[in-house]
Homo-oligomer: A and B are copies of this chain.
Amino acid sequence: MYVILVYDMGEKRVGKMLKHCRKYLNWIQNSVFEGEITDVKLKEMLNGARQIMQEKEDSLILFKSRDERWLEKEVIGQERMSTDNFL
């Protein structure tokens, strides 16, 4: 399935979360990721994310779509992270 993931984390945990999410998805903006992912990998990713998060302070929102074609993406201004192989 295709997912968009956005998080809002306490500063101390941001770096760790970024690293974690990049193992599974493409980083497209500051705290925004997208990509194709299987159910199994998604579960694994969310379990890992829960370990990093303080659920009383942090927030993670996931939008899931069965098919990427149902979403159209438009970028205005800088396309920050189109290719994704540094860091």
Copies of this protein in the assembly total: 2
Known interface pairs A30-B8, A30-B31; A72-B76 also in contact (CB < 8 Å) = no
In the bound complex, how far is the Cα of B5 from the Cα of A74, in angstroms? 10
Q: How many residues of A contact B (CB 8 A)?
A: 38
| Interface check A73, CB cutoff 8 A | yes
Structural contact, B70 and A70, CB atoms closer than 8 A:
yes
Known interface pairs A30-B31, A64-B72, A72-B64; A8-B59 also in contact (CB < 8 Å) = no
| Interface check A79, CB cutoff 8 A | yes
Q: Which residue of B lies closest to A79 (CB)?
A: B59
Contacts from A to B (Cβ < 8 Å):
4, 6-8, 28-32, 46, 49-50, 53-67, 70-80
